[in-house]
Amino acid sequence: MSLWLYCHFPQLLLDTVCRIHAAANTVPLVYYLPADMPRERQGKAHREPIVQCNQLALDAGVELGQPQTLAQGLVSGLVCHRYNAEKEAQALRQLADGLYQTIDKQVLFAPKGIAIAVDSLLRLYQGLNPLLCHIKEQLQAFDLRFYMSLAYSPEAARCLAQAGYEQLSADKNAIHDALACLPVNTLNWSESRVEKLNKSGIKTLHDLWQLPAAQVGKRFGLELVEQLLTLKSTHTAESAAVTFYQPAQTFSLSFDLVTEISHWQGLLFPLKRALRELETFLYQRQKVTRLLDIRLHHRDNSSTRVPLKLAVDSWRASQFLQLIQLQVDRYPLRQPVIAISLTVEHLYELDRNSGQLLNDSAQHKGDLHELLARLQAKLGEKAIYSPAVTNDFRPLLNEQKKSAGSVTNIPTKNVKRPLWLLPQPEPIDIAQWRLIEGPERINSGWWDDKPMAREYWIASDPMQRLGWLFFEKEWYLQGWFS
């Protein structure tokens, strides 16, 4: 006998948006089924019915099932969004990820429910009541409305929770009595089947159970007979295989904005909330990332891509947000934004040796990487690099650019080179200069078409600046020392 707990989230999409975008709690907000949804999901009573609404909308007189055109006429300033089952299913997967740290055996019923196999958790939490209290605390931390019910099959527990019943007893008779009271129009059956049952005088599951199975099969089909046996049985069939949820290995979050936003300042707050969701995702898995892909969606179905590349692995939302703020000028908003997507596909293991408290070099390395990340976000990735040298000592051939933060190879020969080389040597009046050190003989390039045979000097000018000079028929300045 397997005990299952089903958690039903009637307004998961709306609750998720309210958690990420605080402005959703300041205006009357509803979600409605669009006209292009299948007719059976819309129902026959109303066109584009409201399926989710916040408390402000309810207080203003909006009702579930009400046509959204009627609601807009009744409530001034009502914000209406199309319901999107895929976005709600995505929110369900994120919720399952959050619960997975302590609740592992989950079966997802997209887009609004999670079934949890209770038996394997009873010993860990030392009983049913402590387990239920823990799950409630977890769900309340997500600011979600939910119904929970227990039964001896995922389907039976689902029917109870979706009908709004909080049946939390493991007693077989209590579960049977709760199921028997369920109206047939709450059981996720097709509208045509419910209509046929009502015309036959069958209003509740108890009415169906009173009929012989042969009669039910003859009048309503064998499929209904099998469903009734599944709901009534206190044993889960061995052949009824379930697929337990496995946590996602990539992060993906997409949510609508309550109103159109035309400036970056207005986008930073919902982005901050979204980045916190990412931080939790990475922390739970002990992962880090270097690349975030942010997309700002516009009303004309176009989008603005804002890639965020870090110079060092990170998992902190505060660091991600700082880098976004540094590069907003590079991505002007040419159209208002109505939705935001955040995707992270490349995750890496957290290096536990980095950031040691007693390791000064590790601390300085972290500071350097943070500085490089900020400069790249502000100036662009290609504008920042680390200097390196080659074995060719000819000026402008000895120096090369490497990716920012790379270790610079130190030449075995102790030579002095200026940090700033001029693109082309400039002729100078040697009378204005004082030779300090040299000469350094460079005789190289005999193997290619750029041979060089010069003697270089370090000298100071009247302003006490150090320059790198050479003589070739006349004196030239090659570069400046810092």
> Is pLDDT above 80 for 188?
yes
pTM confidence score: 0.71
Looking at the domain covering 4-27+77-232, what would its CATH class be? alpha beta
Which residue in this structure is represented by tokens 């046929």?
A: 196
3-class DSSP assignment, residue 396: coil
Write down the mean pLDDT value for the chain. Answer: 85
Q: What is the mean pLDDT of residues 414-427?
A: 82
pLDDT in tens, 282-303: 998 899 998 999 999 998 889 9
pLDDT in tens, 334-351: 899 999 999 999 999 887
pLDDT in tens, 375-405: 766 666 666 767 666 666 677 666 666 666 6
**Nearest alpha-carbon partner for 320 in 328, 309, 331:** 309
Q: Where does 251-378 sit in CATH, by number?
A: 3.30.1490.100
Residue 313 to residue 31: CA distance in whole angstroms = 38
Q: Are 197 and 120 in contact (CB under 8 A)?
A: no
* Weakest-pLDDT range from 5-19, 260-274, 448-462: 448-462
Long-range contacts of 404-413 (CB under 8 A, 24+ apart): 404/311, 404/372, 404/375, 404/376, 405/311, 405/312, 405/368, 405/369, 405/372
> Is pLDDT above 50 for 40?
no
> Is pLDDT above 80 for 373?
no
Residue 285 to residue 293: CA distance in whole angstroms = 19
Q: Can you say how many angstroms the Cα of residue 435 is from the centroid of all Cα atoms in its chain?
A: 61
Q: Are 370 and 312 in contact (CB under 8 A)?
A: yes
> What is the band of 369 on the pLDDT scale with cuts at 50, 70, 90?
low
pLDDT in tens, 146-186: 999 999 999 999 999 999 989 999 999 999 999 999 999 99
Per-residue model confidence (pLDDT) at position 355: 39
Per-residue model confidence (pLDDT) at position 363: 47
Amino acid identity for residue 166 in this structure: E
317-326 helix and 360-379 helix, angle to the nearest 10 degrees: 40
* Other beta carbons within 10 Å of 223: 11
At residue 140's C-alpha, the angle toward residues 272 and 173, to 5°, is 150
